[in-house]
Amino acid sequence: MVLIVGGMAQGKLAFARRELGVDAWSDGVIGKEACIYNLHRALRDQPEADDLLEQWLTEHPDGIVICDEVGCGVVPVGREDRSWRERVGRTCCRLAERASAVYRVTCGLGVRLK
């Protein structure tokens, strides 16, 4: 599995398409495609996201996960927003441990971290 992270609107999907050959993806949900785009939204909107992600990782060991960095910047005032932000960060840490490669994309340029 490959993990791609970066800020909002930094060209993560374009990088995945150009450099990794991604041609289909599930947007904001953990679906059937071999690429999950906007994992951070799935973690907010799909209550069963943790279980679905584990199942997806089993079915797509060479899949690609793309997630916005949501932990940089102003700390959210609301408890739910803070909890969601922590959930995204911890999930990305777990994914990075399992990933064969991790990229951080800024301005459309990917830097391999792992």
Any idea which residue has 């990782």 for tokens? 57
Q: Are 49 and 43 in contact (CB under 8 A)?
A: yes
Compute φ and ψ for 104, nearest 5 degrees: -115, 125
Q: Are 100 and 1 in contact (CB under 8 A)?
A: yes
Residue 59: CB atoms within 10 A of its CB come to: 10
d(CA 110, CA 33): 22
pLDDT given at position 77: 84
Give domain limits for the chain. Answer: 2-112
pLDDT given at position 112: 98
pLDDT given at position 72: 77
* pLDDT-based confidence at residue 2 (cuts at 50, 70, 90): very high
What pLDDT digit, counting tens, does each position of 9-64 carry?
999 999 999 999 999 999 999 999 999 999 999 999 998 999 999 999 999 999 99
Across the chain, mean pLDDT equals 95
pLDDT given at position 76: 77
Global pTM reads 0.95
Please give the CATH architecture assigned to the domain spanning 2-112. 3-Layer(aba) Sandwich (3.40)
d(CA 51, CA 107): 32
